[in-house]
Amino acid sequence: MGAKVEESVGWGLVGASTIAREWVIDAIRQTGGKPLVVMSRDADRAATYARANGIARATTSLSTLLADEAVDAVYISTTNERHHDEALAAAEAGKHVLCEKPLALTLSAAEAMVRACRDRGLIFATNHHLRNAATICKVRELVQAGVLGAVHAMRIFHAVYLPEHLQSWRLHRPDCGGGIAFDISVHDADTARFILDDEPIDVVAQTGKFGLSSHGLNDAVMYVMRMRSGVLVQAHESFVTRHAGTGLEVHGADGSIFAREVMTQRPVGSVWLRRDQTERPIPVEHENLYVRALSRFHAAMRGLGSPTADGWDGVRSLAVALAVQEAARSGRRVRVSPAGLASS
């Protein structure tokens, strides 16, 4: 049996994170949930975070958080190497799980997390926020409606400058799952899968170091994925690019879509369609990405539909990130692991 589902869903925050503070806590509250307790291994950080965000309780103990019967679901936003053990503990305690990406550092660990929740009748979702963006959803709608005809290629521009307050383990801690692929490639792989309704088959890649990363980690990558349908997807991802802006393009036999400033947490950006020698803007009704994600998560807890990105979506995006890393390391074309294409 899964965890109980109350009219107001009780949440435990596993990790006193920036993303929870900036986006997720408010989205939980806006969609019928209540953050009840936050956990950090640093007692002072946990207490300060709880006070600042209006959360009643703080703890340094995961077991204490999970023993709270008022907690129905947990949001895991700790460093990447901790997700596996925390998710398994949550599943054992009967809590639904929303987990940050990448789910884990290996495919076997990620799959174990997803299966642990599935086998107990619990919801497991991956926080792939981009597929909740109105712009990304609009691009998917146009592509799936056949507006472009046969799709040939997709280009993703996700080269940004990592804010100074985030320039820690992502750049300097391989043991925590740092590096560009685990942080950004997972999102772009998921976005391509979502828009194209297709699966990556293999990858070629080159990485670079341009002044921010250390300890063998990379702060930029370019790669090309070949999808099962034959569509080629090119991506440029970076932590060191201040002025590029983000976006994506999809090109087909009958037209092209251009989306600008869309690879972001904010509900912004524009979509344009070019075909028959004309170009026109496509209307988009923006909405908070995280409110949409939490609304779908809470509905799934009630047995109504599924999360926008489930656990297997997280496994598949991790498979691509691992393939990107190996392709760059080896200089070879690397097949995306078949394990990452599993769905049961």
**Cα separation, 306 vs 113, whole angstroms:** 17
Q: Using the predicted structure, report yes or no on whether residue 3 has a pLDDT greater than 50.
A: no
Give the torsion through C-alpha atoms of 310, 311, 315, 316, to 10 deg.
-20
- Note whether 74 and 65 are within 8 A (CB): yes
- Give the pTM: 0.94
- What is the pLDDT at residue 7? 61
- Three-state DSSP class for residue 194: helix
149 touches 250 (CB < 8 A): no
Each residue of 52-64: pLDDT tens digit? 999 999 999 999 9
The type of residue at 101 is: K
Cβ burial, residue 51 (10 Å; 0-12/13-18/19+): exposed
- Dump pLDDT digits (tens) for 150-192: 999 999 999 999 888 888 888 999 988 899 999 999 999 999 9
Task: Tell me the pLDDT tens digit for each residue of 200-235.
Answer: 999 999 999 998 898 989 999 999 999 999 999 999
pLDDT at site 165? 84
**Residues present in the chain in total:** 344
Higher-pLDDT residue of 343, 36 = 36
* Per-residue pLDDT at 5 exceeds 70: no
Please answer whether residues 35 and 28 qualify as being in contact, where contact means their C-beta atoms are separated by less than 8 angstroms.
Answer: yes
* Cis geometry, peptide bond prior to residue 163 (ω within 30 degrees of 0): no
Of the pLDDT bands very low, low, confident and very high (cuts 50, 70, 90), residue 342 is low
Interval 282-294: pLDDT, tens: 999 999 999 999 9
pLDDT over 50 at 344, yes or no: no
